[in-house]
Amino acid sequence: MPSDTIEIQAAVCRGFGEPLSIETLRLDPPEGGEVRVKVLASSICHSDIIYMDGGWGGDLPAVFGHEVAGVVTDTGPAVPSADIRVGDRVLVSLLRSCGRCECCEAGIPTQCRAEYSIDSAPRLADGAGRRVRAGLRVGGFAEGVVVDSSQVVKIPAHVADEAACLISCGVMTGFGAAINTAKVQVGDSVAVIGCGGVGLNCVQGAALAGALPLVAVDVTDDKLEQARAFGATETINAAKGDVAERAPALTDGRGFDVVMTAVGSARTIEEALPLLAPDGVLVAVGMPPGAERVALNATRLAHYGQSILGCKMGGARLRIDAPKLFRLYRSGRLKLDELVSSRRPLGEINASIELSRRSRNLRHVIVFPDRPDAAA
């Protein structure tokens, strides 16, 4: 059963584009079907940075961070004990699903239509009593979070916190883009544009599906080298050569069956379309800032029967896909540890954010000391 409101340390965004401030906030107990989680590790995703820079708007103050691993400390009265219990170590994702709306019933819970009271009545408040929003539905740059119970899934004992938290978004999105959205088949020719944290997971998802060739495209050689380690068979540095000129030689003149754009840029989507084979599929994985628009050749798209698919969180079903990824990691077929570049305490989060801006191919993880009074 829920206990009382507690005090936690959190990194608060009070102005877009400004450094985060470490503050003491009050975190309410969970209600209904919610759970309160003591955060153990929280990774910095580029989506957090876009939000903190104002790229997608939103209300402030807010606590961002949505790739989280932690331990359940309290459960709301509507959470079945057979589902989630106090003491369970869990992955926390921004994905929620009511299981009852049209989208959930149709098997696309990433588009759940339900409304959640936690959004209109945030469980965080500052010292002045002002409510603080949990950015991206989690608010994980903090010692504790309160989320809907559908947002958590148990972590197996063999997965460390710093590795588990990566599955919450970046790994699940990139892997799912290849497997769930593009439905890459053995022998498909695949190009992944952008080898950041999400792009590397597009690569390893397509590699596990049997893509050949699997071409990684980026503008820096170090990212391309990592992409080879994650399964790419060919690489193209777009800063040194024309991707469209090399594509025919790599695909027997057809173009790519699948192109995944893992860069948050409308221009990248425009440049990717000419790379497609007839009947090819372009998957827009990276999310550009809200004001960007895409111009395309509609005649070519129709004539060649090509498709453009959006991809939210890799089309994941959290409690189905996360266990699969844990199993792949245990077997050695999914790389997680290789994605972690640094581990720093909450007080150094601004330094970690700056590192994340410069090294989008890796993850910088905020780790939390085991304080008895932190979100417990």
Q: For the domain that residue 260 is a member of, what is the CATH number?
A: 3.40.50.720
Determine, yes or no, domain membership for 217. yes
Choose one of 276, 295, 311: the last residue of a domain: 311
Same domain assignment for residues 179 and 266 = yes
Are 155 and 245 part of one and the same domain? Answer: no
Long-range CB pairs of 336-343, under 8 A, 24+ apart, other chains included: 336/159, 336/163, 336/164, 336/166, 336/167, 336/171, 337/160, 337/163, 338/226, 338/229, 338/230, 339/166, 339/170, 339/171, 339/197, 339/200, 339/363, 340/162, 340/163, 340/166, 340/365, 343/162, 343/367
Give residue 360's pLDDT. 64
Q: Which residue has the higher pLDDT, 287 or 313?
A: 313
State mean pLDDT over 229-245: 92
Instruction: Read off the pLDDT of each residue in 181-208 and give the average, rounded to a whole number.
Output: 97
Task: List, in order, residues 6 or more apart from 261 with CB less than 8 Å away.
Answer: 193, 194, 268, 269, 272, 282, 283, 284, 285, 286
pLDDT, mean over the chain? 93
Question: What CATH number is associated with residue 143?
Answer: 3.90.180.10
Residue 183 is predicted with a pLDDT of 97
- Could you tell me if 133 and 58 are in contact, meaning their C-beta atoms sit under 8 angstroms apart? yes
24 and 86 co-located in one domain: yes
Query: How much is the pLDDT for 40?
Result: 98
Whether residues 183 and 133 fall in one domain: no
Among 9, 14, 17, residue whose Cα is nearest residue 353: 17
Residues 134 and 269 in one domain: no
For residues 15 and 43, state if they share a domain.
Answer: yes
316 pLDDT more than 90: yes
Q: For 257-309, how does the pLDDT look when each residue is reduced to its tens digit (9 = 90+)?
A: 999 999 988 999 999 999 999 999 999 999 887 788 999 889 999 999 999 99
Domain-located, residue 21:
yes
pTM given for the model: 0.92
Domain residue limits at 77: 6-159+336-367
The verdict on residue 374 lying in a domain is no
Q: What is the model's pLDDT at position 321?
A: 96
Q: Is 250 a member of any domain?
A: yes
- Shared domain check, 183 and 110: no
Q: How many domains, the chain?
A: 2
What does the pLDDT look like over 148-159, one tens digit per residue? 999 999 999 999
What pLDDT score does 302 carry?
93
pLDDT digits (tens, 9 = 90+) for 94-113: 999 999 999 999 999 999 99
Residue 362 has pLDDT above 70, yes or no: yes
The reply to whether 35 falls in a domain is yes
Q: Of the residues 311, 326, 347, which one is the last residue of a structural domain?
A: 311
Confidence check: pLDDT of 241 > 90: no
Report the Cα–Cα distance between both ends of the chain, in Å, rounded: 13
Same domain, 229 and 346: no
Q: What is the pLDDT of residues 22-80, one digit of tens each?
A: 999 999 999 999 999 999 999 999 899 999 999 888 999 999 999 999 999 999 999 98
Same domain, 68 and 152: yes
